[in-house]
Copies of this chain bind each other. A is one copy, B any other.
Amino acid sequence: MYCYEYPHPAVTTDVVVFSIRNDRLELLLIKRASEPYQSHWALPGGFVDIDEDLNACALRELEEETGITGVYLEQLCTVGAPDRDPRERVISVVYFALLSEDKLEARAASDAAAVAWFSARDYPRLAFDHNMIVQKAHHRLAAKLSYSTIALQFMPRRFTLSQLQRVYELILGEELDKRNFRKRILSMDCLKEDGGLLNGGKHRPAKLYQAKQPDRVDFVR
């Protein structure tokens, strides 16, 4: 037992994990194994250890519950309405994480009840206030596309400009002009030609590119 002179809230981290899969923006959810909201879908997350940094907690819970590591992580907001969890007062520090499909393939293990990907435009009613949180995360993601290199976090090490354009289109929900897109991306000076070509289908092969700084998100424009 751990006792305090004044009541203390519990603190959790939750993570909104996005990836591009099946030609759409998808969202990783877990099925809750226990009450409250048993068998409801929810964001992965859990309680902060008493000596654990907040983002370390987010990464640990993500790995424990979904097997996923090596993501880009960014703090989104902190929610703490007094009645958001029926058990006790819980304050949740929310992160959003972005994941490229190659990292996704490599680590598909899980120790949670159930883990599944959902379309970010069509997902079930979630536990707690998680629907509102996902909306907020989606909004932030779309906003950051226009003034940062954040979309590169969705890309595998090598990719074509058309693949990158498709990522933009899926997140923004609108088609973009190919020539203007290439002009703009290349002027950001965040990509380098890989030298390789991708022989995809019955058409001209596409040049492969890599991010100059795959682990950084830079502000541009």
In angstroms, Cα B93 to Cα A81, docked, is 13
Distance in angstroms from A65 CB to nearest chain B CB is 18
Number of copies: 2
Q: Which residues does chain B contribute within 8 Å of A1, judged by CB atoms?
A: 3-5
Q: Given A52-B82, A81-B53 in contact, is the A8-B6 Cβ separation under 8 Å?
A: no
Specify which of B4, B8, B52, B75 is in contact with A78 (CB 8 Å cutoff).
B75
Does A51 make an interface contact (CB < 8 A)?
yes
1/0 per residue, CB under 8 A from B, across A49-85: the answer is 0111110000000000000000000010111111000
Size of chain A's interface in residues, with CB distance under 8 A?
28
Q: Are B80 and A48 neighbours in the complex by a CB distance under 8 Å?
A: yes
1/0 per residue, CB under 8 A from B, across A1-15: the answer is 111111111110000
In angstroms, Cα B111 to Cα A15, docked, is 39
Does A91 make an interface contact (CB < 8 A)?
yes
Q: Are B5 and A8 neighbours in the complex by a CB distance under 8 Å?
A: no
Specify which of B5, B47, B77 is in contact with A75 (CB 8 Å cutoff).
B77
Specify which of B6, B48, B79, B80 is in contact with A47 (CB 8 Å cutoff).
B6
